[in-house]
Structure 1
Amino acid sequence: MTSVEEARPRALLAEASRRWVRLLPWAVACVLCVALLPTTVVVLSADYGLDGAVSGGLAVAQAAPLLLAVVRPLRAWYVVFVADVTGALALLTVDFQERLLWPFPPMEIVGYVGLCVALGLRERRRTLLLVWLATATANVALGFVAPHGFGARGLLFTILGGVALLLGGALHERSEVRRRLVEQETISEAERGRRTLLEERARIARELHDVVAHHMSVITVQADTAEYRLDRLPPDVRGEFTSIAATARESLGEMRRLLGVLRNEEAAYGELAPQPGLAQIGQLVEATARAHGPVEFTPCDIEVPDAVGLSAYRIVQEALSNVVRHAPGARAQVSLSVTEPDEQDGARLHVVVVNGPPPQPLDQPLEADGTGHGLVGMRERVRLLGGSLDTGPLPDGGFRVAARLPLNSLD
């Protein structure tokens, strides 16, 4: 029988969140030690008639190890068990009254029960079973030499010790199950966040492929038709256009091969549609307003890079989806604006989505099966463009999403 924590033992309940729970084992051990030590000396010497020096030695051996039980209960059990059996054998040398409990007096049973609870909180099932078997074996063996006969009350030591071991073991098992549940929930939440991030990156890669492929196709066509559209091209210039076209076609082929890894067959047909941009945000707002409620829209008529327009559209789409899920019926505002470039910063597109509190508080969201990681995709899109994202609740119970996307990030 070995202790679970041999190298650096920790006190019982040391991992509890509340301070009084962590101090509880020490308090109980001190009370038992202070109460049982003098009581054992008095009872063994006055009631049982045992020699005072022997009574004092047995009292120390039976009560003092209870303090050690807070840190190393199994080692404390070795000492207390041997001391209790020794005390029972020592009582055979004196003549005590038949009404007195033997082989283990009441104060020894109290201390042993407290020790068994400590064992149950720390040790494995196999160790607890061996401890109980040792207890029962010693109890029954001593019963064969009982001076006044051996009855049912002589088995209190075994019965109460077993109950204490079972109670401590049950509490220990319950604590372990709760700890593992918390660990598993933490791991699952981290895995969900990581999976959402990877899925959003794959989606962004597919969308960026469609954006870049369009421009590469234009380059290829222009380079291939240059000798037909432009008169009297020098041979070296014609060769340069041919090289540009070949390089563009090769790049398109590489991107298509990469896209084949990211795009599965089921999603492929839906992903081939043209990607939305700033021009489609108005349609998105109108559709949300018809299904959800009032949504104010402040557009921005400006040409932006396709990747920036696509990211702005997806941010507004996710923000409005969150409004529908978490604040149905609340007023929402979507505004797009562009800041003029200055000496420290270039022009940036500002995307702001603000919603107020729902008209009626919700006990739970309309869609309870969401991943809860919609903001992960927003942050990833903004990060890839070199922009910034600010999200958070408002004092009135609403929510605000504000993104700043640099317009020259793809230059």
Structure 2
Amino acid sequence: MALDRSARSASDILRLGRGEKLTVVERIFLLAIVSGVILLDVFGMLSTPDADLLRSAVSILATATLALFVVSPLVATCALGLAFAVSFIVDAQTLVLTTAAVAAALVMRLGRTSLILSYTAGFLVATAVIAYGDTVAPVNVGIYLIAATVSGGVGFALRMAFARGHRLEQQLAASAEQERQAVLAERRWIAGELHDSIAHHLTIVSLHVQMLDDEQARPDSQEAIRVAARKAMTDLRFVIDLAEDGPRGAEVQIGDLAAALAEAREELEAAGHAVAFQGDPRDERIPRSAEIILARVARESATNILKYAGAGAIEMQLSVTDETAMLTIGSPMSATARRSLSSSRTGLERMAERVLGGSGEFSAGEVGDRWVVMARLPIARRPDAAVESVRKS
């Protein structure tokens, strides 16, 4: 896999299908070099009495075209070609060809594939014209070809270095984003666990604190507060221990459905609600994954009933078939409209997230004068049951 990624990266670099841009440092360096060479040419032209002004002007023009690579490699290449054509008038071909050899580095550094190929062909034609053309003195074009090759190699090396640097920056940015998402996921996980466990116990404490003024209910309320506080501390230590192990991609599988339903029933009865329960939470057909989710739904529903339900009986029903396991919890509506009660709806959202994450169905809302929560989860059929079904058919 690593070799495959390296091969793709090398292929992307060699394709050269995308034009590049000079960095700020490269632009400053290029403009400084061009300016220095032009100043030297101007100084030499002015300090030499018998200097050929037209020939010097063409040389300066060719040098100045290098600065155009800052704006557009295509425009700079066209301008350099124009300067080379003009150089034949004043016999300055070798001066412009020297500039063109240096410009090969910029073409390889910045140009697209089409521009690079066109520039290479044009440079070879120019050297052939000078080599076989009618010149005053013979010209060794091999020097210019070697210079252009070396210059182009430098430009290509710079291009690869910047491409690899850019790719490394992208990889580092992606890695940093993954770390940030992992931290956020860990925070969401901790917040969810605290909400599902600590908030439930705090709700019980808050409810029974209001009953401490009743002398008859005080002993039971004190015991309920003591038990809830002890459970809250136990759950808090559990969450802290899990968080110290590092981020988790999935929730920790805790929760026993029978124990969760029994605990919810005790807490609701302690708060003055009559609870009617139907079903067998220890049914072996319920898979562990569904049991965990339904246990959380039962616990969160009990928390919401303690917060918002009116006086009356609570109905819990667990229906299990070979296909699904469905938990339905109904509670009387409060005299205050539910939408008028303060609620973050975090509990409902987490219940829905858990059930839907298990490929189930979830609903919560008013049904007549009751608030009904329903969670239905699929049950994976056992292989022997599936074989038996096939035999019977």
Task: Indicate the TM-score class for this superposition, using the shorter chain for normalisation.
Answer: 0.3 to 0.5
Q: TM-score, normalised by structure 2?
A: 0.45
Larger fraction in helix: 2
Normalising by the residue count of structure 1, what TM-score does the alignment of the two structures yield? 0.43
